[in-house]
Each structure stands twice: as C-alpha cells, then as structure tokens.
Structure 1
C-alpha cells in the first residue's frame, strides 16, 4: 500500500497556478498541482466500487480536496494516489480511466492557451513552453523528423518508484490535444516508458492505434506532420493573447536550470557507462569549467547530480522485480557489484536486495488482474 506520512495539500489566495522549491540543492523537488487534477476522481472511484476518502487518506490527501477552493496538492501525492488506486481497485488502467473522465479544463489557463491555438502544432508548442507554469514537475518536447512529429513527455521528479499511472494519464491528454484538430487520424504510434499494465486491447481502444511500444526511454506520441497543421475550430486570437499574457506574467518561458539538463543527460548516458562531466559539458556545448561554475551557482555539483540520478534510477530499476541485480548495477554505470552495494547502503541504509524487497512489499509484487472495463 502507498502511504504518505504528511498532508500534501496547500490552499493559496494568490493568483498563481503552481509553486514550490524548485532549487537544485536536493533530490526532492516540490511540485504542486491544482486540486482540479482530481476532478471526477470521487465519482470514478465509487463507480469502480471503492471509497474515495479512504484512498485519499492513505496518500495524505484530505477527503474534501475536490471541493476545496484554490487548493493545491503535491504532485508526488497525486502520483502515489493513482498507483494506490490502481492496486487497491484492481484496475491497472486507472490513470487512463481518470483522464477519460476529465476535461481539458483541469489544466486551468494552460487549457485556454491550448484550445485557442491556431493549429494543433501551435497548441503543442504553447503547451511545451508553459507546462512548467502548470506543473514544474513535468516536461514536454516537440520535435519534427521529416513527415513525423515526435511528442515526448517526462515526469521530472526524482525518488518516485512508480509513475506508470501518471504517465498513461498524461498520454491520454496528449491524444486529446491532437483531437482538437477535428477529424484527424490517430497517432502513428504510442510510446510508454514502463512495461505493459493492461491487455493490449485496452490500449488500442483508448488510443485508436495498434503500434504500441513499451519500456521506452520516455513516453510520447508520434504524429503525422499533416495532422499537426490542422486548424483548431474554436481558435480566438484575443482570448489566446490574454491567456498567453497571463502565463507570461505567472511564470514565463524560463530556461531550465543547467542541473536539470545535466540530470537528463546522466539518465541517458548511465547505461552506456559514459556519464562523465566532460561528455555532459560537450552535450551542453559548454567547457568543463563553465559547467562546474554554473552547477556551483545552483548549489550543486556534477558528482552530486550524478549520484542523485543513480539513486533515483536504482529505486526504479529495483522496483522491477525481474531485473537481476548485476544488470541494475550495469544500468547505473557501475562496473562492480560491490560499488553498487556500497552506494545503496549510503542512499537507502540497506542492500539492493533489501531495498527491492521493501519496494515490492509496499507496492505489491505483481500487478493485479484487471476486471472487464465497464
């Protein structure tokens, strides 16, 4: 069972969407989301035979969170709640179900920017630009390769063992944004960063595609470039301008901290054994000393960032019960198992095997079988 010891909600009166300590001094970035992220939660849980209040309480969230005014909750708590509900209700597709029960309006002013974009491409470009205002714990990129546009989504929080439900929920919202273009074809393919949770037929029904790829580096959709050029019928330039002005005033298009970009580079390079500062500097088009200075200015260092990434990846890999410990060590860039063992004791106060046992005991050693969709 997922259980969080503290209450993860905050009420504010200021005209802001989200806020928190996003400094790069530690491994646990605070990211808050509006309580609108839980719109329809209670009704869905009751439909599936559960008790909303009990599930919320297990994750440190007040039972009346849906009805509170101007309330926020920790993104970590939302992620934990989705996982907890999927397990307790025996519904591995819970995240997708919740997304289908919700409207774009849960995104607040960001939804206005998206809905009133001129084209599908502009909708995604604006979403990628201002997503950090809605939730600094998420990132989206848009990249064109020939006749295909690659939409990629990442959850940036560290030390979160399972983000499966949150990822699948986000993919449904990406697909819904594509559909703002009207009668457009479905995505070419859908990419999932985790292993398959539900029968393939469930994913095909939700996304309307047969090309599904699991255990990928990141989540995302591949879309035809022609689809991205489709016009949005509801587009209103005056409303769009006002919404963009609000987003700029609230948070603007901030450049991501260099430490965050170094973390992403380390995640990609760790399995190759080449996650060193020189290669990271080359990726960022910086020299070694400049990268070191910029990391120090953010209150960290390359070794601290790399260590944090390894700790986060270790938890995620160990949560997959079928990965041999020797393979986990290699994926983290360790050439010897003993070095991985020492690191685990330093991070978690226990051996890799003991940490895996604790993770699986808390989350359940295997995903439950899913009853038929209703």
Structure 2
C-alpha cells in the first residue's frame, strides 16, 4: 500500500526554507511533490517523497537538524482537524489514546503507540520507510511534533524522562539538548518519548465536551472512508498533473514509487483502474470549467492534458453524447450563466 500523509505535515515549510536560504517551491519540485502542496493542507502526499524532501533541505541548507527544527516550528498545526479531537478529550491519557487510534487518518505512513511500563509512559512513533529512503530527518520531525503536542497538553508539567531515537546524532548532543531540553539516547531500538504515567490522569482544563463529541462523529465518518483513500489520492494527483500533460500510468506510478503493475493491482482491489480514474477526473474538471469559466475549448483541452482540441472533443463526445460546445451552451441556458467570451485573434503586429 502506498504511504500517504496529509499535506498539513508541511505547514510552515515555506517559512522554514526561506529562513535557511532555500526556495520552497524549488525544493518541492526537486522531491517530486506538486507545486501547490502547501496551499492544499488536506490533500494527501507521498510520505516517501516527504522524507526525501526533508533530507534534501537539510543537505542543501547545511542545517543538519532541519526536520527537527521544522517540527518544533509547526507543533500541533500538522494535525489539522484531528487536533480538535485530541485537544478536547477529558484527560491527557484519553487525548494520546485518540491520537494513536486515529493517526492513520493523518498519515498511513506509520503508527503512534502508547504503552505503560513500571509507571512510565512510552509514546512510540514508528514511520514506514522503504529501502533507500533516508530516515533521520523525518523521524526527528515526528518526535519534535510529539514534543510540542505533549507541551500543549501538559504545560509546565511536561518533563520527559527520556527520548529514544533509532538514528545516530546529526549534530552535537548539546544542540539537541538546547532544542528539546533533553539529550536523546541515539541508536536505540525505537523512537519514543518517556514520561511519568501519573501525567496521563491530568485533566485538560480547556476541553470542550460538545466540540469533542462533534469531532468524534466527524472523525469516525472519515475513518469509515479510510480504506478508499488510494483512489482519492490518485484522483487528486491527476488533477494537479493534468495541466502539465503528465498523466500516464508510468508517470503516476513513478511518482508513487511503485511499479505500474502494482499500482494497477492496488486500484483493482479498490474496484477501479487508472484509466477509469483518469476519465472521471477529466470529466469532472471538464464540466466544471465549461460551467464556471469562459476559457476557450483549446485552452481547456490543454488543461486536461490532451494533445489537441480534436482529441479532447472526441473523448467528450464519447462521455456525454455531445460536443463540449453543445454541452456548454445547454448548461449556460439552464443555469443562466453568461455565454463564454470568444477568444479574440491577436493583431498581426502582436504575433
């Protein structure tokens, strides 16, 4: 299964890049992530490419703790809607239990687990990374977000006993101590914060039970839809790639770091196919543009990734039994929308 993460995982990424002299859009493109990633926080992105992105940023900027510092900057903002659930639980323990239970809605790239041993809580974060994908930046990013979450929940009572990291240190230990108020145990068998179990009983004084109940119902509905997220992810990816014409099965599979057969098989298991999703996406985008804009049909064909207007018109005729022009005229009449503005020929002296 492809590993996804909400694009909200990169909130404030542009600020962090500019602070160390990097071009955020350029770094996104270099990692193979859509250029509009930062403006659509609820969209899903490839977690593997996000891991490569953070590694690229650390290397290019000369800031070896780029991922850690980004996570501290972002804090709980990465969780999006899920934050409203966990911050309105009754106690710290209930909050962390809900985070562990629903973390897959934020990211299917790993898991958050909570264990209690000898009156100590072990809050464990385990990302799923494929062979060859660098891990330190994304692991440190995750534990930094965890640090800010626990600080939000516990306030002045947040006093970790230990921090374990599976990776080697990327900077002197004193740098970690300055940022996290603790020196990690590197090269460990897990990535985890450790703190007193008594803190789990701490009440969340600002919790709103009514808001929590509302968010619980909303999150449960999202949870029911979670198994269908692969087709939605591919459809979202196609919408961002259509204007560039990069809508082949090979290109999309490569973006997802999968073989074409693997992607087709995974989509088939969800009751669809790549071609079906491409057709659905093009149909939806075509009717939206025809109804809501006055761009020319030639421009629309390009936006939908077609080589020319004739190819687009043939496909549209097959879908709807009429030409794009006829569909636009029929729907303009039914909705009272303005007729499209004809594209004017440019004067010869401007050509």
Is the structural similarity TM-score above 0.5? yes
CA distance in 2, matches of 1:167, 1:200: 16
Normalized against structure 2, the TM-score is what? 0.61
Aligned to 1:104: 76
User: Which entry has the higher C-alpha Rg, 1 or 2?
Assistant: 2
Query: Relative contact order, CA 8 A, sep 6+: which one is greater?
Result: 1
Q: Is residue 157 of structure 2 the alignment partner of residue 184 of structure 1?
A: yes
Aligned to 1:169: 141
Aligned to 2:168: 195
CA distance in 1, matches of 2:42, 2:106: 14
Q: Is residue 91 of structure 2 the alignment partner of residue 119 of structure 1?
A: yes
- Please give the residue correspondences for 1:92-241 in structure 2 after superposition, counting only pairs within 5 Å: 92-179=64-151, 180-210=153-183, 212-241=184-213
CA distance in 2, matches of 1:198, 1:232: 35
CA distance in 1, matches of 2:148, 2:17: 22
Gaps of 5+ in 1: 1-28, 256-298, 300-374
CA RMSD of aligned residues (A): 2.2
Cα gap change, 1:201/1:38 in structure 2, threshold over 3 Å: closer, same or farther?
same
Tell which deviates more after alignment, 32-41 or 84-93: 32-41
CA displacement at 1:161 relative to structure 2 = 2.8
Gaps of 5+ in 2: 228-268, 270-351
CA displacement at 1:146 relative to structure 2 = 2.1
Whether contact under 8 Å (1:186, 1:207) holds in the other structure is no
CA displacement at 1:224 relative to structure 2 = 0.6
Q: For 2:22, which of 41, 50, 53 is the aligned residue?
A: 50
Normalized against structure 1, the TM-score is what? 0.57
Deviations 1:126-146 (A, max 9, x none): 111111111111201111112
Whether contact under 8 Å (2:75, 2:148) holds in the other structure is no
CA distance in 2, matches of 1:120, 1:56: 35
CA displacement at 1:253 relative to structure 2 = 12
What secondary structure sits across from 2:56 in the alignment? helix
Deviations 1:112-154 (A, max 9, x none): 1111122221111111111111111120111111221111110
Cα gap change, 1:165/1:38 in structure 2, threshold over 3 Å: closer, same or farther?
same
Whether contact under 8 Å (1:52, 1:63) holds in the other structure is no
